Structure 1
Amino acid sequence: MTAPLTPTEIAQTASLASHVLKAVSGADRDAALTAIHAALEANKGAILAANSKDMSAASALVTQGKLSQSLVKRLDLSKHGKWEDMLSGILQVKSLPDPVGKTTLATKLDNSLDLYRVTSPIGVLLVIFEARPEVIANIASLALKSGNAVILKGGKESVHSFAAIAKVIREALESTNIPPGAVQLVESREEVNSLLDQDQYIDLVIPRGGNELVRYIKEHTRIPVMGHADGLCAIYVAEDADEQKAVKVVVDAKTDYPAACNAVETLLINSATLTTVFPKIAQALIYAGVSLRCDEVSLAALESTPSTSGVTLKAGSTITAAVAEDYDTEFLELTLAVKTVDSDDEAVNHINRHSSGHTDAILTESKERAEDFMKRVDSAGVFWNASTRFADGFRYGFGTEVGISTNKIHARGPVGLEGLMIYKYKLLGDGQGAGSYGSGEGKKRFLHEPIAF
C-alpha cells in the first residue's frame, strides 16, 4: 500500500500539476469538468451515504451542545437543492469563456517590439473551509477551469463527505489530460499547519469560515491570504422606502438562508419610519420566526404600535432589548439586531464602523440617495432595493465561487474565475536591446502605440 504523501510532497505534487495545467488547452480543462460531473452523478448514492454519516455525527454533537444548528444546516447535501446546485454549478463553470491567455492590453513599443498583457493562473491554491461539503466540487471546478491546482481542507464535521467527493474527483481526472494531483484533499489540522509553511509551492490561501479560522490562517503563514472573516451585513431602511419592497427584501435577507454569510444581521431604521414602514417589517419578521434585538427607540415603537404590540410571537422568536455586542455579531440564525438612526450619514457611519465589508444595502425610492449610499459604504457589495442574499457567485453568473473576499487588493466580493487569474507581460521583439532607447543623442524613442486586440 502506498504511503500517504507528506504535506511537503502534497505541495510539490500540486505545484507540478499546476505547471501542466498552465499548458493544457481549454478543451482539456472543460473535458475534465465533464468527467467530474458525470462521476459525481454516477456516485450520488455513495456520496449521500457518506454525507448521512456526517449528519448523524453532527446531530449528536448538537444534542450535546458541542455544535451549532446553523453549521449542521450547512452540512446537509440532500436539502435546499444543494446536490443539484453543486452539479449544475460544475456545468455552468464549464460553459463560461476560457479565462486563460486572454489579452487585456497590447502596446507597440517600437517596430517589431510588441508588448502584451495576458491573463494567467495564480498557480497553487490552498482552500480551507468549514462544514459545506459541496464546496469541494465548486472550488475544484473553478480551479481547473482557471488553470490552477488546488489543495482542499474541509472541516472535521464533513470528513466522510469530503473524502467521498475527493475520491470521485481524483478518479475522474485519471481519464483526462489533467493530472490527479491538481486536486488534493488533506484531513488533519497538523497537515494544514505544515502546508501553511509551503510558500515555495503554494501561491494563495483562501480560508472559508469564521473569524477565528481566518485570523489563525493570517497569523500562521507567509503565503498571501484572500477571504473574509465575517458576513456582518446590514440593511438601511430610509424614510422614503417603499413598504412592500422593504418587507419583502428584509424578510428574504434574513430568512431565506439564515446560516449564510450574506444573510442580513443588522437592520438600520430611519427614525421617520418608526411608525410607518418599520412596524410592517417587524410584523413580517415576527411571523417568520425571527427574534428581534432592538435598541431603546425601536423597542418602544414596537410596544406602542397596535400592529406589533399584541402580535403572538412564533415559537422560538423573541423581542428583546439589544446590547452593544449585537451590532458586531454574525448570528447565522433567525436573530436580527435593530438600530434606529436619524440620517443617511448616521447609517453610513454605523455600517463603515461595524460592517465586515461583505454586503450592505439601502431601501429607498431615491436614485440619488441610493447612489450616495453605495459610493460611501466601504463594502465589497453595495445594493439598492435588493436582498443581501444576492451576494453570491452563482447568482452573479460566475458559475459558482471559491469564496467571498473583503480584501481591497486583487479580487473583491464573490470570487469566480476572474478572481483566480493574475497576468503576465509578453514582449515580442526582434533582437532589440533596451540600451538603444532613451532621450539622449542617438537614442531611439518608444512609439507606445496601442495595438488592437
Structure 2
Amino acid sequence: MSDPSSSSSSSAESIAIAARRAFEASQLLPITERDRALTAIRSRLESAKSDVLVANKKDMDAARNGELSKSLVSRLDLSRPGKYESMLQGISDVAALPVPTGIVTFAKELGPGLELQRVTCPVGVLLVIFEARPEVVVNIAALAIKSGNAAILKGGKESLHTATLLSHLISEALATTSVPPAFVQSVATRSEISSLLAQDRYIDLVMPRGGNELVRSIQNSTRIPVMGHADGICAVYIDESAQEETAVRVVVESKIDYMAACNAAETLLIHQSLLSTIWPKVASALIEQSVTLKCDPASLAALSPSDLIVPSSEQDYYTEFLGPTLAVKVVASVSEAIKHINSHSSHHTDSIVTESEESMSAWCRGLDSANCYINASTRFADGTRYGLGTEVGISTGKTHARGPVGLDGLVIYKYMMRSKKQGGSVIADYEKGGGKYTHQDLPTQAPMF
C-alpha cells in the first residue's frame, strides 16, 4: 500500500519543478508576450462567465450550509452586481501598467571599458496561499504574469469549485500563447501545501494572504522566505488640533466599513484635551454603529454609561478584533501615541487626525508602520486603491516590499557587468598597479541586454 504523504510530496515536487521550468523558459520570451497572455486570459474568463458562476454557486451553497460568517460568505460571491466585471477589469488594469522588469536603477563605469548596471528582474516562483475570495486567483495570476513570475496558487476550501475552474481557464488561455501553461498552477489539498512548503529548491517566495492563524502557521512551516503580515492591528489617533467632523468620519469608516479586513481600525487613541469635546461625539457615532468600546479609565470616565462601553485590559491593545470592538486609550501627546503604536501594533496601517503640520511631520517620521496616513481612513490600504492594478497582499516586513504588494513588490534585481576591452577585464587591470577604478555614474537608461 502506497504512503499518501509520499505521494503528496512527489506531486508537490512535480508541480514546483514544472513552475520552475516554466519560469526559466518564460525569461527568454519577448516582454510583449506577457500582455498578450493577459488579454487571452481576460477573453477566456469573459466567455466562461456563466460556467464560473455555476461553480461559484456550489461554493456559496456549501458556505451557507456551513459555519462561515456572513462576511466570509459575502466575500465568496462572484454574482454580486459588478463583481465579475471588476475582476476582469483588474486584468486590464494590470496589463496597462508599465512593465516592472528590465529597469536600470544604478549604472556606473567601474573603470575604462568596464560597465555595471543594476536591473530589475522577477523573483522567480511564487507560492501564494489565500482564503475565501476566489477572484484572488485572477488578481495574482495577472500580477505574476505581468511581473514575469511563475505562480502556484492555493485557495481556501470554501472557494474550491470557483478557484479550481478559474485556474483551469487561465491555463487554457495560456496554452494559446507562448507563455507556458504551467506558469500559473493551482493546488487543491492541504497536504499538497505542506509538501510545497518544503520545496525551497524550486520555490523562491511564499506569500500568504489571509488571517493571523494562516500566516503564522506558514511562517513556522517553511525555510522559504515568507512575505506577509500576521496581524492587522491598525490604529487611529485623534490629535489635539483635530476637527470634530474629520475625526468622526475617519474613525467611523476606519472601524465599520469592513470590520473583517486587515486594514480596519482596532485601536483608537485620543489626546487628553479632547475628553469633554470631540471624544463623546466620536464615541456616540461608534455606538450608533453597535461598536463596543473597550476604554481605559480616562476615556471611560468621560462617557455616560452604556452596555457598549466597558473597561479595557492591556491585552486589548494587542488584539485584532476583526469585528465590532474597538480598544480606546487616552494619550498626552503625538509622541506618546507614536510610542504606543510602535510597541503595540502590527506595523500595518495607522492614521492621525490633526490640523497641525508639526504633528503630521512627527507622525510620518516617527511611526514604524508600512502605511502612515493623515486625516484619512485606514481602509485606503489596498493595492487597487493605490493604483497598483491589484495586489497580492499586504506586507508588514522590513525587507523587499512593504504595504500593498503590487508589481513593484514582485521584482528584485540583478547586477549586469560588461567589459568592452579587448581581451576582457580582470581585476589586475584596476588593482595591483594596473590602474584605478573610476566609479563614474552612467545614465540609467535602457539595460545593456
The 10-residue stretch of structure 1 (202-211 or 105-114) with the greater mean CA deviation from structure 2: 105-114
Deviation at 1:224, TM superposition (A): 0.8
Contact 1:380 1:406 (8 Å CA) reproduced: yes
Deviation at 1:10, TM superposition (A): 0.3
Aligned to 2:361: 371
Pairing 1:433–2:430 present: no
Deviation at 1:79, TM superposition (A): 3.6
Aligned to 1:50: 55
Q: Cα distance 1:81–1:332, how it changes in 2: closer, same or farther (>3 A)? A: farther
Render the CA deviation track for 1:405-428: whole Å, top value 9, x for unaligned.
Answer: 111011111111111001111111
Deviation at 1:363, TM superposition (A): 0.6
In 1, Cα distance between the equivalents of 2:64 and 2:316? 27
Aligned to 1:314: none
Percent identical: 55
Deviation at 1:81, TM superposition (A): 4.7
Aligned to 2:4: none
Pairing 1:392–2:382 present: yes
Render the CA deviation track for 1:253-287: whole Å, top value 9, x for unaligned.
Answer: 11222221111111111121111111221222222
Render the CA deviation track for 1:300-328: whole Å, top value 9, x for unaligned.
Answer: 21217xxxx7xxxxxxx933333333222
Structure 2's unaligned 5+ residue stretches are 1-6
Pairing 1:282–2:283 present: yes
In 2, Cα distance between the equivalents of 1:366 and 1:222? 46
Q: Cα distance 1:18–1:234, how it changes in 2: closer, same or farther (>3 A)? A: same
Render the CA deviation track for 1:423-448: whole Å, top value 9, x for unaligned.
Answer: 1111111333323234543x111221
Q: TM-score, normalised on structure 1?
A: 0.92
Deviating above 4 A after TM superposition, structure 1's stretches of 4 or more consecutive aligned residues are none
Match of residue 352, structure 1, among 339, 342, 360: 342
Q: TM-score, normalised on structure 2?
A: 0.92
Structure 1's unaligned 5+ residue stretches are 310-316
Contact 1:74 1:259 (8 Å CA) reproduced: no
In 2, Cα distance between the equivalents of 1:331 and 1:83? 30
In 1, Cα distance between the equivalents of 2:46 and 2:329? 47
Amino acid at match of 1:330: E
Contact 2:198 2:223 (8 Å CA) reproduced: yes
Pairing 1:446–2:434 present: no
Amino acid at match of 2:90: G
Render the CA deviation track for 1:208-255: whole Å, top value 9, x for unaligned.
Answer: 122222222122111111110111100000111111111111111112
Aligned to 1:61: 66
In 1, Cα distance between the equivalents of 2:311 and 2:60? 35
Q: How does 1:259-408 map to 2 (within 5 A)?
A: 259-303=260-304, 318-408=308-398
Pairing 1:255–2:256 present: yes
Contact 2:419 2:425 (8 Å CA) reproduced: no
Q: How does 1:77-92 map to 2 (within 5 A)?
A: 77-79=78-80, 81-92=82-93
In 1, Cα distance between the equivalents of 2:112 and 2:81? 59
Pairing 1:16–2:8 present: no
Contact 2:335 2:362 (8 Å CA) reproduced: no
Superposition RMSD in Å: 1.9
Aligned to 2:111: 110
The 10-residue stretch of structure 1 (366-375 or 68-77) with the greater mean CA deviation from structure 2: 68-77
Amino acid at match of 2:399: I
Contact 2:134 2:163 (8 Å CA) reproduced: yes
In 1, Cα distance between the equivalents of 2:312 and 2:56? 38
Amino acid at match of 1:433: S
In 1, Cα distance between the equivalents of 2:364 and 2:102? 33
Contact 1:238 1:269 (8 Å CA) reproduced: yes
Amino acid at match of 1:13: A
Amino acid at match of 1:396: Y
Contact 1:70 1:332 (8 Å CA) reproduced: no
Q: Cα distance 1:249–1:81, how it changes in 2: closer, same or farther (>3 A)? A: farther
Amino acid at match of 2:441: P
In 2, Cα distance between the equivalents of 1:119 and 1:58? 42
Contact 1:171 1:180 (8 Å CA) reproduced: yes
Contact 2:259 2:322 (8 Å CA) reproduced: yes
